[in-house]
A and B are shown apart, each in its own frame.
Chain A
Amino acid sequence: MKQQNSKKYKEHTSKRRKTSNIVYLTTLLLAFEAIGLSLIIFPRSTVSITEKRELKTFPELTADSYFSGDFTKQVSEWFSDTVPFRDELTNISTAIREIRGFRQDGIRLHNVGTLPSTSDESSSSSTSTSSSESSSSSSSSTSSSSSSTTGSESTHESSSSTSEQKKDDPEIQDHLNITNNGIAVVGDRALMMYGGSFAVSERYAKVMNKYKQAMPNVNVYSMIIPTSCEFYSPASLAGYHASELDNINHVNSFLQGVTPVDAYSALAAHTSEDIYLRTDHHWAPLGAYYAAQAFAKTAGVPFLDISEYDREVVHNYVGTMYGYTEDIVLKNNPEDFVYYVPKTVEYTTTYYEYELSGGKIVGGRPAFNGNFFVRYGDGNGMAYCTFMGGDSQIVKVKTNAGTGRRLAILKDSYGNALPGYLFGSFDEIIVIDMRYFTHNVVDFLTDNGTTDILFANNSFHAATASTVTYYETFLTQQDWGYWIVKEWEDSSETAE
C-alpha cells in the first residue's frame, strides 16, 4: 500500500515537474528572444551622447586582421558597443549599479585616491609624489579590471597606449587632466579633485613673462580660474586634492610685467550662486561674468552690468561629468544652463576654423561670419559649446565699444565663457585656443594691433606642462600657412 502510494506520488511529481520545466523554459526562452531579437532588429547606435564619442564601427576583414585575432575581437566589441538605444540602456545599467551600496554623507568617489597616476610628464595633475612607483603600478596591473566609468576607461586605455598619442591628441590630454585625480560626487555636484603641484608653476609664469618681453607695449594679464573643487569640496575630502589658491599665488609670485587678475576672490564672493556647473567640468557663465568683471576692473576698461544682457536658459542640462563618472545621481539631477547675451552692444563675429583629423590640425576653412552664441535645445549635453561652438578655431569679434583697446584671449575652454561679457569693453577681441593656433603669435598680434593679452586658463591647465609647451610653441613657431595675415585681414574685412 505504502509502496503503491509512493509510486503514484513519483508519477505525479514527474508529470508536475515536466509541466513546471516547460513553463520555466518557455518563459525563459521568451525573455531571451525578446532581448536577443531587439538587440539584432533595432538599428545599431553610432554615437554616444553621454560619453561624447563615436561608437565602434564594424571591423574590416583582412587576412592580417583575422589571423592576428583583431577582427573577431573587434566584432565582439562592436556588437557590445553599438547596442540599440545604447545611452538609454546604459542609464538603466548605471541605475542598477547604484544599488550596490549607499552614499555616506551623499558622497561617492570615482577613482579618488586610488587611480594609478600616469607617468607622463606633461600631466602633472596628480598628488602622487613618486612617478616611478606609479608607473610600475600601472604596468603591473594584470587583473581583469572592469572599469565602471567610461571616463576612467579612456584614461586607463590612454595610459596604456603610447605617450606619443597622449601628447598629440588634445582631447585625450584634456581627459587626463580632468580625471587624473578622480572625481567626487558630493550631493548632486561633481568635483574634479585638483592634484596640481608647484612643479609647473614657475614655467607657466615664465612663459607669460616671455609674451610680455616679446611685446613690451602690450598689457599682459594672467587669470587662473579655480575650479569648483576649490569651493565645494567638503572637509572630509581635503586630503585628496591640493589647494588651487596656493598654486595660483605661486604662479603669481613669478610674474614679471604680467598683471594677475584675481578671479579667485571674485568667484569666492559668490559661491552661494550658480557660478559652476554641477554636472559638467566647466564653470557656469555666471561665474565667468564675475571673473570678467574682475578683469575689466584690473584692465581699466568699462564693463556692462548683467542687466544689459538677455538671460537665456537651456533646461535639463547634464554635462560631461555624467559621462566620466556614470554616476546616476548626476543624470537624475539635471541643471539649468544659464547664459547671458548682450543686448546693448553691436558686434560681429568672424570664425577662422581649423580642419582637424585625429585631433590634429590639417587645414584651415574659409573664414565666415556667424553668431557668437549658439543656441542649444533643452536637454542638450553640449550646451557649454554655446560660446562659439567649440575650440578648434580662431575667433575675431569686432564691437562698437569705442575704447580703442584690442584684446586677445589665450585660453582653454574655461576662457570661452569670458569674451561675451567684454564686448562693451574692447573694440576687438581675438579668441585663441591654446591647442589650436598655427601662426607666430608675436607677428600675428602685432600685425593685428592688439593692446591687451589675457591668459585665461583653469587651474588644472595652469599646472600642466603641455599648456606651457603650447604657449611656448606659439612664440617660436613659423606660420603654418593657413590664412596668411594679409588674407586674414581681407577676409575679416569682407566678413564685416
Chain B
Amino acid sequence: MVFSDLFFLYIFIPAVAICYALARCGDHARLKAAANGNAPRYANANLCPYSNAVLIVFSLIFYAWGEPIYIFLMIASVVMNYIVGLFIGRKKQTSKPALIVGLVLNIGIIAVFKYADFLVDTLNLTGLGIPKPNIALPIGISFFTFQSISYIIDVYRGEVKAQRNFFSLLLYISMFPQLIAGPIVRYSTISEEINKRTINFNDIAEGSFRFLIGLGKKVILANQLSEISSKFLDGNLAAVTTGGAWLGIIAYTLQIYFDFSGYSDMAIGMGRCFGFHFDENFKHPYIARTITDFWRRWHISLGSFFRDYVYIPLGGNRKHQPLNILIVWFMTGLWHGASWNFVLWGLYFGAIIMLEKYTILKVKDKIPAVFLHLYSIFVIVFGWVIFYFDDFSRLGEFIPILFGGGKAGGWDAVVQGELTGNLWLLIAAIICCLPIAKIFSYLYNKSESRESAGQEAVLTGLKTLCSVALLVVSTFLLIGSTTNPFLYLRF
C-alpha cells in the first residue's frame, strides 16, 4: 500500500484512526482504573498497550498488503533482533558475540534479498556463469534492516536499554508510517514514546497539516513532474535535444525531492498524530551552498546512520579519513540500489565532498552565495543523471546530449511545448524547494512582536484553507490515475 492512494487515504486511514481513538480511550480507562486501585498495578511500564496493539495490527496489515509473504521475513527479522538485543543487554560477556551475530544476520538478510542478483551479475562479468537467484526485493527491507542495526548497536553501546517487550520492538520496527520508505527512525528517538506518549490537539493538527503537505508534494508536484522527466529520459535518447535533456533532468531533480520528502512529511505527520516525534529527514536540500551542506539536508536519517555507525567507528576524521569517506560513500551509493550506477553516484559525491574539504569549505565565506548555489545545484543535478540511468550505455548516451553533443540539436518544439505547458508547475516546484514557512514567519513576525488574536485567526484560516485545498486537489488528481509508487520504495 502506498500513502498516495485513494484506498489508503479513505479506507485505511479512517479505519486506523477510529480504532486508534478507541484504543486510546481504553488506555486512559485502564490507567484511571489502575490509579483508583480497582485494577492490579502492572509490572511493566507500558501505559498504552491497546493503542500499541492497534498500531501493530494495522502496520502488519499495511505491510502484508504489499508483501503477503515477506511479512514473515520482516517478523522473523524482528524476532531475531529482539533476541539479539536481550543477549547484548544481559551480560558483558555475551554482548559482543551477540552483536556480531546480529550484524551478520541483518547484513546477511539484506545481502541475500537485495544484492544477491547484483552480486551474481557482477561475478558473471568474469565469465563464471552462475545462475541468477532472481529474488524479489521485499518492500522497505533497506529501511527496516537499518533500523534494526541501529537498535542493536545502540543497545551494545549502552545508549538505550534492550527492549524486553517483544511487541514494543515489533512496533518500533513495523510502525507503518516509517516502515517502507523511512525515515530511518532511531530507537532512541522514540523508545520512550513507545510505552508512554501523550497526544493533544496540537499534535493532531500539526501532524495532519504535515501529512497533507507531504501528500501535496507527492500528488500535485512529484507526479506531474514525473510526466515531464519520463518524456525526456525514458524515450529514444537519439531524439532528445540538449534543452530536452536539461528540462528532463531538472524535472527529475524536483520530482525526486518532492517524492521522497513528501513521503517523509507524511510519515512524520502520521507519527505525530499517533503521538510519536520522528526527526526531520529533509531540510530544504536544494538551498545548500556546498555539497557537504547538501548532505546535511538530504535524507538526514541515512547520512547520520552512516556517520554514526560506519564513519566514526572506522576512525572518522582521526585516521585514514579519505578511506573512511570512500567506504561510507560506496555504501551510501550501494544502499540506494543493487546497481553500479548507484555506487558511482555515491563515489561521485564522496569525491566532491573530499575535494570540498580542501577547497571550497576553506574559502566559502569569500565566494558570493549565488556562485555557491549555482555550483551546488549543478553538481546535484548532474548527480541525478548518474542516479537515474542504471543502464550505463544510456547514461553514456545522455551525458553528451546535456553538453550539446546530441544528434537532435539544442532546442525543439517539444521542449518549448513542455516548458511553457508546465511553466507554472515548474515555478511552483522551485518555490516549494525554498523554506517558505521560515520566510513567511520571518516576514510576519518582523511587523509584529507578538501574535494578536486577529493574526492567529488569519493564520488558522489560511492553514485550514490550504489544508482543505491540498486534500481536495490531491484527491482529484488521484482519481483515475494508476498507482504511482514512491521512488524510494525501490531502495
Question: In the complex, are the beta carbons of B5 and A76 less than 8 A apart?
Answer: yes
What residues of chain B lie closer than 8 Å to A40, measured between beta carbons?
10-11
Question: In the complex, are the beta carbons of B479 and A90 less than 8 A apart?
Answer: yes
- Given A28-B208, A35-B475, A83-B6; A143-B480 close (CB under 8 Å): no
What residues of chain B lie closer than 8 Å to A68, measured between beta carbons?
68
- Given A80-B6, A147-B227; A69-B236 close (CB under 8 Å): no
- Given A39-B10, A79-B11; A69-B67 close (CB under 8 Å): yes
Q: How far is the CA of A102 from the CA of B412 in the complex (A)?
A: 17
Question: In the complex, are the beta carbons of B460 and A66 less than 8 A apart?
Answer: no
What residues of chain B lie closer than 8 Å to A153, measured between beta carbons?
482
Q: Which of B58-95 contact A (CB under 8 A)?
A: 64-69
Q: How far is the CA of A143 from the CA of B66 in the complex (A)?
A: 19
Question: In the complex, are the beta carbons of A20 and B456 less than 8 A apart?
Answer: yes
What residues of chain A lie closer than 8 Å to B388, measured between beta carbons?
143
Contact with A along B26-62 (1 / 0, CB 8 A): 0000000000000000000000000000000000000
Q: A40 — nearest CB in chain B belongs to which residue?
A: B10
Highest count of chain B CB atoms <10 Å: which of A24, A112, A141: A24
Question: In the complex, are the beta carbons of B480 and A81 less than 8 A apart?
Answer: yes
> A96 on the interface (CB 8 Å rule)?
yes
Q: Which of A130-138, A303-311, A456-464, A470-478 contacts B (4 or more CB under 8 A)?
A: A130-138
Question: In the complex, are the beta carbons of A83 and B424 less than 8 A apart?
Answer: no
Q: How far is the CA of A410 from the CA of B124 in the complex (A)?
A: 55
Question: In the complex, are the beta carbons of B423 and A89 less than 8 A apart?
Answer: no
What residues of chain B lie closer than 8 Å to A9, measured between beta carbons?
450
Q: Which of B111-119, B154-162, B362-370, B466-474 contacts A (4 or more CB under 8 A)?
A: B466-474
Question: In the complex, are the beta carbons of A109 and B418 less than 8 A apart?
Answer: yes
Q: How far is the CA of A467 from the CA of B19 in the complex (A)?
A: 59
> B197 on the interface (CB 8 Å rule)?
no
What residues of chain A lie closer than 8 Å to B471, measured between beta carbons?
28, 31-32, 35
Q: Which of A10-25 contact B (CB under 8 A)?
A: 13, 16-18, 20-25
Q: How far is the CA of A27 from the CA of B463 in the complex (A)?
A: 11
B437 CB, nearest partner CB in chain A, Å = 16
Question: In the complex, are the beta carbons of B485 and A143 less than 8 A apart?
Answer: no
> A42 on the interface (CB 8 Å rule)?
no
Question: In the complex, are the beta carbons of B477 and A96 less than 8 A apart?
Answer: yes
Contact with A along B186-205 (1 / 0, CB 8 A): 00000000000000011011
A49 CB, nearest partner CB in chain B, Å = 13
> B130 on the interface (CB 8 Å rule)?
no
What residues of chain A lie closer than 8 Å to B404, measured between beta carbons?
none
A-B contact count (CB 8 A): 233
What residues of chain B lie closer than 8 Å to A79, measured between beta carbons?
6-7, 11
What residues of chain B lie closer than 8 Å to A17, measured between beta carbons?
202, 456
- Given A103-B420, A114-B414; A92-B476 close (CB under 8 Å): yes
Q: How far is the CA of A472 from the CA of B229 in the complex (A)?
A: 42
Q: B9 — nearest CB in chain A belongs to which residue?
A: A36
Where chain B touches its partner, the secondary structure class is: helix
Question: In the complex, are the beta carbons of A67 and B69 less than 8 A apart?
Answer: yes
B428 CB, nearest partner CB in chain A, Å = 8
Question: In the complex, are the beta carbons of A111 and B231 less than 8 A apart?
Answer: yes
Q: Known contacts A114-B244, A136-B393, A140-B394; can you find 12 more A-B pairs with CB under 8 A?
A: A23-B464, A28-B208, A66-B68, A69-B66, A72-B1, A83-B6, A101-B424, A112-B414, A128-B239, A129-B238, A133-B237, A144-B484
Give the residue of A20, A81, A107, A140 whose beta carbon is less than 8 angstroms from that of B417. Answer: A107
Highest count of chain B CB atoms <10 Å: which of A31, A128, A138, A145: A145
B390 CB, nearest partner CB in chain A, Å = 7
What residues of chain A lie closer than 8 Å to B308, measured between beta carbons?
none
What residues of chain B lie closer than 8 Å to A107, measured between beta carbons?
413, 417
> Nearest 7 pairs between A and B by C-beta?
A141-B234, A100-B425, A145-B230, A114-B231, A113-B414, A20-B460, A21-B201
Q: How far is the CA of A101 from the CA of B419 in the complex (A)?
A: 8
Q: How far is the CA of A102 from the CA of B425 in the complex (A)?
A: 10
Question: In the complex, are the beta carbons of A104 and B394 less than 8 A apart?
Answer: no
- Given A72-B65, A133-B236, A143-B229; A100-B479 close (CB under 8 Å): no
Give the residue of A28, A115, A144 whose beta carbon is less than 8 angstroms from that of B467. Answer: A28
> A239 on the interface (CB 8 Å rule)?
yes
Question: In the complex, are the beta carbons of B476 and A96 less than 8 A apart?
Answer: yes
What residues of chain A lie closer than 8 Å to B226, measured between beta carbons?
143-146
> B352 on the interface (CB 8 Å rule)?
no
Q: How large is the interface on A (under 10, 10 to 19, 20 to 34, 35 or more residues)?
A: 35 or more
> A151 on the interface (CB 8 Å rule)?
no
B464 CB, nearest partner CB in chain A, Å = 5
Question: In the complex, are the beta carbons of A80 and B464 less than 8 A apart?
Answer: no
> A222 on the interface (CB 8 Å rule)?
no
A449 CB, nearest partner CB in chain B, Å = 51
B19 CB, nearest partner CB in chain A, Å = 16
Give the residue of B208, B390, B391, B426 whose beta carbon is less than 8 angstroms from that of A25. Answer: B208
> A116 on the interface (CB 8 Å rule)?
yes
Q: How far is the CA of A468 from the CA of B9 in the complex (A)?
A: 50
> B286 on the interface (CB 8 Å rule)?
no
What residues of chain B lie closer than 8 Å to A80, measured between beta carbons?
5-7, 478-483
What residues of chain A lie closer than 8 Å to B205, measured between beta carbons?
20-21, 24-25
- Given A24-B464, A137-B234; A102-B423 close (CB under 8 Å): yes
A230 CB, nearest partner CB in chain B, Å = 18
> A278 on the interface (CB 8 Å rule)?
no
A117 CB, nearest partner CB in chain B, Å = 6
> A266 on the interface (CB 8 Å rule)?
no
- Given A22-B201, A102-B420, A148-B227; A239-B451 close (CB under 8 Å): no
B482 CB, nearest partner CB in chain A, Å = 7
What residues of chain A lie closer than 8 Å to B484, measured between beta carbons?
144, 146
Question: In the complex, are the beta carbons of B234 and A18 less than 8 A apart?
Answer: no
Highest count of chain A CB atoms <10 Å: which of B7, B393, B473: B7
> B421 on the interface (CB 8 Å rule)?
yes
What residues of chain B lie closer than 8 Å to A147, measured between beta carbons?
227, 230, 482
Give the residue of A93, A101, A103, A127 whose beta carbon is less than 8 angstroms from that of B479. Answer: A93
Q: B457 — nearest CB in chain A belongs to which residue?
A: A20
Q: How far is the CA of A13 from the CA of B229 in the complex (A)?
A: 46
What residues of chain B lie closer than 8 Å to A270, measured between beta carbons?
none
What residues of chain B lie closer than 8 Å to A13, measured between beta carbons?
451, 456
Q: Which of A117-164 contact B (CB under 8 A)?
A: 117, 127-130, 133-134, 136-138, 140-148, 150, 153
Q: How far is the CA of A275 from the CA of B438 in the complex (A)?
A: 58
- Given A36-B14, A101-B425, A116-B234; A143-B483 close (CB under 8 Å): no
A184 CB, nearest partner CB in chain B, Å = 9
Q: How far is the CA of A21 from the CA of B483 in the complex (A)?
A: 33
Contact with A along B438-467 (1 / 0, CB 8 A): 000000000000110100110110011001
Contact with B along A83-97 (1 / 0, CB 8 A): 100100110110011
Q: How far is the CA of A115 from the CA of B236 in the complex (A)?
A: 8
- Given A31-B472, A108-B421; A18-B201 close (CB under 8 Å): yes
> A1 on the interface (CB 8 Å rule)?
no
Question: In the complex, are the beta carbons of B413 and A236 less than 8 A apart?
Answer: yes
Question: In the complex, are the beta carbons of A115 and B233 less than 8 A apart?
Answer: no
Q: Which of B214-244 contact A (CB under 8 A)?
A: 223-224, 226-227, 229-240, 244
> A245 on the interface (CB 8 Å rule)?
no
> B295 on the interface (CB 8 Å rule)?
no
Q: List 6 A-B contacts (CB under 8 A).
A: A16-B453, A20-B456, A28-B208, A72-B66, A81-B480, A112-B414
Q: A93 — nearest CB in chain B belongs to which residue?
A: B476
Q: How far is the CA of A237 from the CA of B414 in the complex (A)?
A: 9
> B165 on the interface (CB 8 Å rule)?
no
Question: In the complex, are the beta carbons of B451 and A83 less than 8 A apart?
Answer: no
